[in-house]
Chains A and B, each alone.
Chain A
Amino acid sequence: MKINGNYTLNVTPAVFWEMVMDPNVLEKVTPGIKELKEEGPDKYEAISQVRVGPVKGNFNGNLVIKDKVPHESCTLEIDQKSKMGNVIAEIVMKMVPLEDDKTDIQYTGEAKMSGTLASMGQRIMSGVVSTLSKQFFKSMEEEIEKRDKN
């Protein structure tokens, strides 16, 4: 399944970068994340519960951040297992600076699913992914607002 989209945030690429690289922020903004444990440099163990419409499940697995080009781009490698099937995804995130200290976050990648997720969920998964991505950026915006207030 292809994943791609973009979202414009009211921060500079540098601020966004700093936030994404902060596990505390990531844990807060990633939908469904219950726990994010740092396992090594840029490697986390993630436990999440995702529930969107008929797709519901407890996932756990790894999140690796690689190919880091600070303030420009990075690649997220996600490997999540659940009883309803597993997801392996690789997403390239690019931060394109815009005027007024804004950044357009462009992401593109591919996710591979297995088990029930694939046989019953595939049809609706692209909808689920887009909902989750929106949630991610919405939460990010909230974090940015909080940060600005402080």
Chain B
Amino acid sequence: MGNFIGKSVKRREDARFLKGAGKYTDDIKLPKMAHAAFVRSPYAHAKILSVKTEEAEKADGVVAVFTAKDGCGEFGVPCGWQVDFKNGETMREPKHPLLAKDKIKHLGEAVAIVIAETLEQARDAVELVEVDYEELPSVTDPKKAMEEGAPLVHDEWENNAAFDWCIGNDRAEVEAALEKAHHVTEMEYRNQRLAPNAMEPRSYIADYDVNGDKWTLYTSTQNPHLIRLLLCAFALGIPEHKVRVVSRDVGGGFGSKIYHYTEEALLTWASKEIGRPIKWTSDRSEAFLTDAHGRDHVVKSKMGFDKDGKIVAHLTDEYCGMGAYLSTFAPAVPTYLHGTLFQGVYTTPLIHLNVTAPFTHTVPVDAYRGAGRPEATYLLERIISKGAQEMGMDPAEIRFKNFIPPFDGVEEEGYQTQVALQYDSGNYEKALKRGLEMLGYEDFRKEQEKARKKGKLLGVGISTYIEGCGIAPSAVVGALGARAGLYEVGQVRVQPTGKVSVFTGAHSHGQGHETVFAQFVADKLGIPMDDVEIEHGDTEQVAFGMGTYGSRSLAVGGSAIIKSIDKILEKGAKIAAHKLEAAEEDLEYLDGKWTVKGTDKSISFGDVSLTAYVPHDYPEGLEPGLDFSSFYDPSNFTYPFGTHIAVVEVDADTGAVELQRFIAVDDVGNVMNPMIVDGQIQGGVAQGVGQALLEEVVYDEGGQMITGSYMDYAMPRADDLPMIETDRTTTPCPHNPLGVKGAGEAGAIGSTPAVVNAVVDALAHLGVTDIQMPLKPQTVWRAMQN
């Protein structure tokens, strides 16, 4: 531990946000900037018979109106991951047009863009665009989409499957083991559709500069370089070196701002057409209709146990909705980010997951906080608890029986799962023990018994999750269908005065990189934090980068910076040795200076920096300057894990669930800043609780979304949650220099099944063994009555 690593250093980015001085994309105003608004389909599936734009074009302040017939019609946004069919057939990848031309494939799909001097004028003119539709039957449920005769999303294929996929052991072998199992627990449910709801709606400004023939795209994205690559190489076919993508302050992402959206490409195209900057900021209603959603798995699962409660086999079939088009990461979510976690923290010897991924007449579904892993964890943690309940076992006891024994990944080898991955390090029982201790598990069970006699329904739910993050080794993901590498870039530029600018390809949209990255850079260089500045979010400043998602920033982005620091110190030592007239191997670097071991002869980091840039007295043959850039490609994923425990009380009369306590013991490897890690966990837990109790996107039978506003889509508010009790165990990651695993998604992954397990536990004596999420009062009340 140094001066800063491991300390709860207060965030440097806070002052600007607290003073209202953050610069989110919508806060930017450019000279001559025009404003865009979209004409969007009110139908899920329809033929476009005609689009009349004449009236709108004549309206006050209107600069231009474009439809798919105006040149942008040839372009589409790409998908970044390819998962082929089990039989080898190529993944079906429909064109995802910037504007719909002949056919609408989901509600809210854009038909025309109206650009005007002011936002009000653009919105007024949208009303004047006449679109004649012929509504067609639609399908929004992923399972129904695969039924015979279901309306087709894309007419070019005979059914709605985008791909199918399986992982694990031979199906027949798993089925045979289930036949012979002492007890088989079955579950059938839907992991419901969620709207990510970052509080800042998506916002883009495209600015074409005719003199330089260059574009600048200001965008609320989690990965500016990836957007530039997709925009240039795939969407519009424009030269990458002519495009600058800037993404500074971003108001939350949770996955929804990873993807390259049609509006980004369309604005970039239109800006050149009109020769002016154009801004578009989504309103919340548009966000519900057009931001990629999360989850939407229809699940059927069986888990077999022996008479002692040991898991013998696990078989699952899922229908995972893709929406109308394949979003950037969509095919990876129900497959490689999902099936590879089916081992959980258990020694299950036989596992098989089969996935069918259909198109539906809905907005695309893609990664949402946790991406595939919350779905895997929900299934595993619910079904093992259900199994325990059916066999009359304690939910903690069944977990202890099945845990993979502790391994550190150094002395003991990593754990090879049945589903491709090898876990890095883990100590699952330690986290559960700590969680039970924090709860006072045995006392709680007594209290629960007493309360039950008084008609009070208390319940406890346990979830012992594992997740895979820090994505990812490029060769591995490449083999799994990723169309990009998943390394990260970190550049450390030491200025002549010894001040340090760090350029990272990771992106901060709430995570506090400006603080955390500066902490370890300052410590590694032995200099004050104030001497370190972290820069991100601008493709013209940062060489390259893959961005932030999958809890990868510190594990991958941090490691890239460490690699550059190592190079700085190695070169610095050469300069220091020259100046000190000593051999390099006789020097040690400590507290910001190189010292000749056993003497008081030393030279500071600042002096070496200056020498590097004013190389008058300098080692022969050494290049001047002190500036290194590194690409870090991890050798494995990282595997954070932990135990989440929820305590609930269910109102016996109304079915309303009150979350009384929430305990989170997370092992995210080494911790750079405990305050920030706790903050990530607390926020993640809130989102996971939101899925368990409140949140659901509902499309009605006609493909209309009936939860399209904050009046209808329930998200956790301050009075829905208790204080979150957090603690940690620390099992360092053995394969990256900081020993970190990642903390961004853990809260959302572990919490959901803990809450549902708790509610089912509260009602277990009534014979309730499962309830469909979200656990709204009427759903719980109905379960109680049956």
Q: In the assembly, what is the distance between CA of A113 and CA of B700, in Å?
A: 10
**Cα A120 to Cα B705 with chains together (Å):** 9
Which residues of chain B (99-142) have a CB below 8 Å from chain A? 107, 126-127, 135
B42 contacts across to A, CB distance below 8 A: 85-86, 114-118
Beta-carbon contact of B712 and A114 below 8 Å: no
**Complex partner residue of A114 from B288, B702, B709, CB under 8 angstroms:** B702
Segment 117-131 of A: residues with Cβ below 8 Å from B = 117-120, 122-123
Q: Are B702 and A122 in contact (CB under 8 A)?
A: no
Among B135, B285, B289, B706, contact of A122 (Cβ-Cβ < 8 Å) = B706
Chain A CB within 10 A, most for which of B107, B135, B704 = B704
Do B702 and A120 have beta carbons less than 8 Å apart? no
Q: Give the complex CA separation of A123 and B714 in angstroms.
A: 14
A122 touches B711 (CB 8 A): no
A37 proximal to B (CB < 8 A): no
A123 touches B700 (CB 8 A): no
Q: Does any Cβ of B come within 8 Å of A146's Cβ?
A: no
Given the complex of chains A and B, what is the CA–CA distance between A116 and B702 in angstroms? 14
Interface flag for B708 (CB, 8 Å): yes
Any A CB within 8 A of the CB of B707: yes
In chain A, positions 97-120 with a C-beta closer than 8 Å to chain B are 112-120
A83 interface residue (CB < 8 Å to B): yes
Taking a contact as CB atoms under 8 Å apart, the answer to whether B704 and A120 are in contact is no
Chain B nearest Cβ from A111, distance in angstroms: 11
* B43, CB-defined interface residue at 8 Å: yes
Per the bound structure, the CA–CA distance linking A115 and B707 in Å amounts to 12
Closest-by-CB residue of B relative to A85 is: B42
- CB pair B709–A122 under 8 Å, yes or no, is no
Which residue of B126, B135, B712 is within 8 Å of A120 (Cβ)?
A: B712
Q: Is the CB of B704 within 8 A of A113?
A: yes
The residues of B that contact A116 with a CB separation of less than 8 Å are: 42, 285, 708
**What chain A residues lie within 8 Å of B711 (beta carbons)?**
120, 123
Cβ contacts under 8 Å, B712 to chain A: 119-120, 123
Give the residues in chain A near B700, CB-CB below 8 Å.
118, 122
With A85-B42, A114-B42, A114-B43 already in contact, the answer to whether A119 and B702 are too (CB < 8 A) is no
Is B43 within 8 A of A120, CB to CB? Answer: no
**What is the CB-to-nearest-CB distance from B222 to chain A, in angstroms, rounded to a whole number?**
26
Residues of B within 8 A of A120 (CB): 285, 708-709, 711-712
CB A43 to nearest CB in B, in angstroms, measures: 18
Distance between B362 CB and nearest chain A CB, rounded to angstroms: 13
Closest to B43 in A: A114
B310 to chain A, nearest CB (A): 48
Q: Which residue of A lies closest to B128 (CB)?
A: A83
Contact: A119 with B704, CB < 8 Å? yes
CA distance A53 to B711 in the complex (A): 15
For B703-736 the 0/1 string (1 means CB < 8 A from A) is: 0111111011000000000000000000000000
Write out the residue numbers on chain A whose beta carbons fall within 8 Å of the beta carbon of B708: 116, 118-120
Q: How far is the CA of A86 from the CA of B708 in the complex (A)?
A: 16
Per-position contact with B for A62-102: 1 when CB-CB < 8 Å, else 0? 00000000000000000000010110000000000000000
Q: Which residue of A lies closest to B712 (CB)?
A: A123
Distance between Cα atoms of A81 and B705 in the complex (Å): 18
Asked if B289 and A119 make an inter-chain contact with CB atoms under 8 angstroms apart, the answer reads yes
Whole-angstrom distance from the CB of A92 to the nearest CB of chain B? 20
**Chain A contacts of B107 at CB under 8 A?**
114-115
Tell which of B42, B107, B285, B288 has the most Cβ of chain A within 10 Å. B42
**B706 in contact with A118 (CB, 8 Å):** yes
**Candidate in A86, A113, A114 with the most chain B CB atoms within 10 angstroms:** A114
Distance, CA A83 to CA B43, complexed state (A): 12
- The residue that A119 contacts in the complex, of B43, B126, B135, B706, with Cβ under 8 A, is B706
A119 contacts B705, CB within 8 Å?
Answer: yes
Q: In whole angstroms, how far apart are the Cα atoms of A114 and B705 in the complex?
A: 9
Residues of B within 8 Å of A114, CB to CB, are 42-43, 107, 135, 702, 704
The interface bits of chain B over 667-710 (1 if a CB of A lies within 8 angstroms of the residue's CB, else 0) are 00000000000000000000000000000000010101111110
CB distance from B579 to the nearest CB of A (A): 69
Q: How far is the CA of A105 from the CA of B702 in the complex (A)?
A: 29
Contacts of A85 in B (CB 8 A): 42
Q: Which residue of B has the minimal Cβ distance to A88?
A: B135
Nearest A residue to B706 via CB reads: A122
Q: Which residue of B lies closest to A84 (CB)?
A: B42
Q: How far is the CB of A54 from chain B (nearest CB, A)?
A: 10
CB distance from B94 to the nearest CB of A (A): 23
| Complex: A122 Cα to B702 Cα, angstroms | 13
Would you call A119 and B127 a contact (CB within 8 A)? Answer: no
Contact call A112/B706, Cβ cutoff below 8 A: no
Distance of A9 Cα from B387 Cα, bound (Å): 63
Among B127, B135, B706, B712, the most chain A Cβ lie within 10 Å of the Cβ of: B706
Q: Whole-angstrom distance between the alpha carbons of A116 and B700 in the complex?
A: 13
Neighbouring B residues of A113 by C-beta, 8 Å: 704
Q: Which chain B residues lie closer than 8 Å to A86 at the CB level?
A: 42
Contacts A86-B42, A123-B711 given; does A118 touch B704 at CB 8 Å: yes
Chain B stretch 264-302: residues in CB contact (< 8 A) with chain A: 285, 288-289
Rounded to whole angstroms, the CA-CA distance of A114 and B133 in the bound complex is 12
Contact digits for B42-63, partner A, Cβ 8 Å, 1 yes 0 no: 1100000000000000000000
Instruction: Give the residues in chain A near B135, CB-CB below 8 Å.
Output: 114
Q: Which residue of A lies closest to B40 (CB)?
A: A115
Alpha-carbon distance between A137 and B31 when the two chains are bound, in angstroms = 56
- In the bound assembly, the distance between CA atoms of A118 and B711 in angstroms comes to 13
User: What A residues does B288 contact at CB under 8 A?
Assistant: 119
* Cβ contacts under 8 Å, A123 to chain B: 706, 711-712
Residue of B nearest to A86 (CB): B42
Give the residue name and chain of the B residue nearest to A112 (CB): B702
Most chain B beta-carbon neighbours within 10 Å: one of A112, A118, A123: A118
Whether B704 and A122, one on each chain, are in contact in the complex, defined by CB atoms closer than 8 angstroms, is yes
Separation in Å of the A60 CB from the closest CB of chain B? 11
Query: Which residues does chain B contribute within 8 Å of A118, judged by CB atoms?
Result: 42, 700, 702, 704-706, 708
Mark interface residues in B9-40 (1 if CB within 8 Å of A CB, else 0): 00000000000000000000000000000000
A118 vs B135: C-alpha distance in the bound complex, in angstroms? 15
Which of B's residues lie within 8 Å of A, judged by CB?
42-43, 107, 126-127, 135, 285, 288-289, 700, 702, 704-709, 711-712
Supplied contacts A115-B43, A118-B706, 5 more A-B pairs, CB within 8 Å: A114-B702, A116-B708, A118-B702, A119-B705, A119-B706
- The 22 sampled A-B contact pairs (Cβ below 8 Å) are A83-B126, A83-B127, A113-B704, A114-B42, A114-B107, A115-B107, A115-B704, A116-B42, A116-B708, A118-B704, A118-B706, A119-B285, A119-B706, A119-B707, A120-B285, A120-B708, A120-B709, A120-B711, A120-B712, A122-B704, A122-B706, A123-B706
Q: Which 3 pairs from chain A and chain B are nearest by CB?
A: A115-B42, A119-B708, A118-B704
